[in-house]
Structure 1
Amino acid sequence: MKIRLALIMALVGVPLPAFAHPHIFAEARLEIIAGADGTISELRNVWRFDDVFSSSVLMDFDKNSDLKLDHSELNEIAKTISTSLADYGFFTSITSNGAAVAVDKPDVFNVDFKDNQLLVFFIAKPEKTLPLKGKLSIGVYDPTMYTAIDFEKDEDITTEGDGFKACKRAVIRPDPDTVLAQNQANLTEAFFNDPAGTDMSRLFATRLELTC
């Protein structure tokens, strides 16, 4: 199978030198589910990729050249993306009272191709028990800044479960100019060549903040 270099970089999130800006775009939806025990049990993700990137995926994974993706081809895409994103925490950022919380490899990871767009569905779970206490921050972003994952509306980040009733919530959309001004001293050449190595790209990401 031939997969163009740009597509590989996009799927695996490998940083490209001097490319610290997005080349691929995805509209996202995130549903955060609270369990009956007052902990966060699941983060349900849906990503819809732009037409250009989706067409590239179709061309690269359409083995029988019938201009559609059958079940086996979709499974191959899902496997490729899931395996590769594991190195980047599945683009999932969680902090609990300032401490980072890792996520497990998703048990559910599927893709589909509808209306000429690639759709990715997966359920992430915190690696450790994550109670709804204190201040929590949850976001989805590509640390390499190669892919822009956008929540078009605040309502695209939702919470479900009685545990959230005691929490105040706010969707934070950082202003890039403000972030740049506040972190000018830290935005070195190393950041622009490899933003994943500095982890500063999270400062630009849309996120949900919960105070419980």
Structure 2
Amino acid sequence: MKPASFLFAGAAWLLPAAAFAHPHIFAEARLEVVAGDDGTIAELRNVWRFDEMFSSSVVLEFDKNSNLKLDVDELAEVGQTVLESLEEFSYYTSITEDGRTIKVTKPDAINVDFQDGQLLMFFKLSPGEALALKGKLTFGVYDPTMYAAMDFATDGDLVVVGEKFAACKHKVVRPDPDEVLAQNQGTLTADFWNDPAGTDMTKLFATRLEVTC
């Protein structure tokens, strides 16, 4: 499997469990949550910029004509690979409504560019159901396999867009690892870590945007 595919497909079943003790791929993320005029969430805009080492490995694997760069058709192939492979993982995009997980739609396309030695991806998706601005909503980006670290460098990289958000309060939450472990020590048992269905530990530590309306 191509190095890029370890990210795009998750590939948890290809790697030993120990490999997921820490991330192997790093990306800076930006997420814009857009409200429509009807008072529902219209779309989520994702932008991901990957580390130079991983970006270089993608060039090596997808550079079909060996000109040491990704041409338009090669960038499109990377995007198509991501589009198909990350569907199972909801494109690393997390939405909840009062604690209930909301599925996301498949993007029309994953757009890919290569700038300053780094792979750049940007795409839009929407909630899989009508999601009104009410109650407590959360939005975030994380890799449940823990293979990729999706980082929001500043709180300004998690934003709301749209006049309808004026009636809501919103904040960026960056969980403290020690507090997360203390609050969940009752559930983080051997059975949790050895669950054959897998665990979603990353969600507990993931930076998120909380919106209360």
TM value normalised by structure 2: 0.92
Preserved contact between residue 19 and residue 193 of structure 1 (Cα < 8 Å): no
- Give the superposition deviation at 1:188: 4.1
Q: How many residues align?
A: 209
Tell me how large the CA RMSD over aligned residues is.
1.8
Percentage identity across aligned positions?
60
Partner of 2:112: 111
Question: 1:154-202, CA deviations, whole angstroms, 9 ceiling, x for partnerless residues?
Answer: 0101111111001100100011122122223333456557898222320
* Moved beyond 6 Å, runs of 4+: 193-196
Question: 1:120-179, CA deviations, whole angstroms, 9 ceiling, x for partnerless residues?
Answer: 101010010010001001111000111000000001011111110011001000111221
In structure 1, how many angstroms separate the alpha carbons of the residues matched to 2:194 and 2:68?
36
Preserved contact between residue 77 and residue 111 of structure 1 (Cα < 8 Å): yes
Preserved contact between residue 97 and residue 135 of structure 1 (Cα < 8 Å): yes
Partner of 1:14: 11
Preserved contact between residue 145 and residue 195 of structure 1 (Cα < 8 Å): no
Partner of 2:2: 3
In structure 2, how many angstroms separate the alpha carbons of the residues matched to 1:30 and 1:112?
17
- Give the superposition deviation at 1:81: 0.9
Report SS of the residue matched to 1:198.
coil
Preserved contact between residue 48 and residue 117 of structure 1 (Cα < 8 Å): yes
TM value normalised by structure 1: 0.93
In structure 2, how many angstroms separate the alpha carbons of the residues matched to 1:206 and 1:74?
29
In structure 1, how many angstroms separate the alpha carbons of the residues matched to 2:158 and 2:18?
31
Distance 1:101 1:187, change over 3 A: same
Preserved contact between residue 18 and residue 193 of structure 1 (Cα < 8 Å): no
Query: Which residues of 2 match residues 1-212 of structure 1 at below 5 A?
Result: 3-4=2-3, 7-15=4-12, 16=15, 17-20=17-20, 21-188=22-189, 197-212=198-213
